[in-house]
Amino acid sequence: MQNEKIKNDGRRLRSINTQNAIVDALMNLVQRGILEPTAQQVSDEADLGIRTVFRQIQDKETLFILMDERVKQNYAGDMMNTTPCGDIKSRIKELVVMEARTYESNLQFLRATLANKWKYKTLQKNYKRNQKNLKALLYSWLPEVKEETKATQAFLTSINSTGYWIELRENQQLSVEDACALKIQAFENALL
């Protein structure tokens, strides 16, 4: 009986290690700009057989859920561990710079989510959750936004979104510094 338990625990541990290797491989591929890696690419990156990948991870939804758990820890940790202080101008700057740091360190994951959210319910749910959290963060850092018109609130919430950051960085091809300056100016124009 004891040997059977040890044997099962060993299998379970190997299974967890294999799943972690698969998630690591997916994250490495996404970080390199492959926004929707194939099972074969994940298999090659993890140095596992394709059948092992399919046996461990039933579908891409499951894989995205596992990846999200890791990304979410970094994402939330970066932004939720800072307390707003100072006048409105300094809070605007600190908020924009903090978000820029977080967006940049997670840029490929954000791009992958935007590129694939129409296909995967998990990514839709994650994106919606993240935008809701960003709005709450915005209002906690800049409670003055609540006093503005609905149009201004919607405008500032949009400027604060991950989609807008990607627009500035990729489509407008702004540097991090220029994207931050643009966001700071937009917030100051609306709130000061």
- State whether 68 and 127 are in the same domain: yes
Q: Which amino acid is at 39?
A: A
Q: Alpha-carbon torsion 148, 102, 186, 84, what sign?
A: positive
Round the average pLDDT of the chain to a whole number and report it: 88
Sequence-separated (6 or more) residues with CB below 8 Å from residue 5: none
How many separate domains does the chain show? 2
| pLDDT at residue 68, rounded to an integer | 84
What is the mean pLDDT of the segment spanning 34-58?
Answer: 87
pLDDT range class, residue 13, cuts 50, 70, 90:
confident
pLDDT range class, residue 175, cuts 50, 70, 90:
very high
For residues 67, 73, 76, 77, the Cα torsion angle rounded to the nearest 10 degrees is -150
CA–CA gap between residue 180 and residue 75 (Å, rounded): 18
- State whether 81 and 50 are in the same domain: no
- State whether 65 and 147 are in the same domain: yes
- State whether 121 and 158 are in the same domain: yes
| pLDDT at residue 168, rounded to an integer | 97
Residue that terminates a domain, selected from 58, 79, 106: 58
Q: Alpha-carbon torsion 80, 68, 16, 42, what sign?
A: negative
Show the domain range for 173: 59-192
- State whether 12 and 76 are in the same domain: no
What is the mean pLDDT of the segment spanning 71-85?
Answer: 74
CA–CA gap between residue 82 and residue 84 (Å, rounded): 7
For the full predicted model, state whether its pTM sits above 0.75.
yes
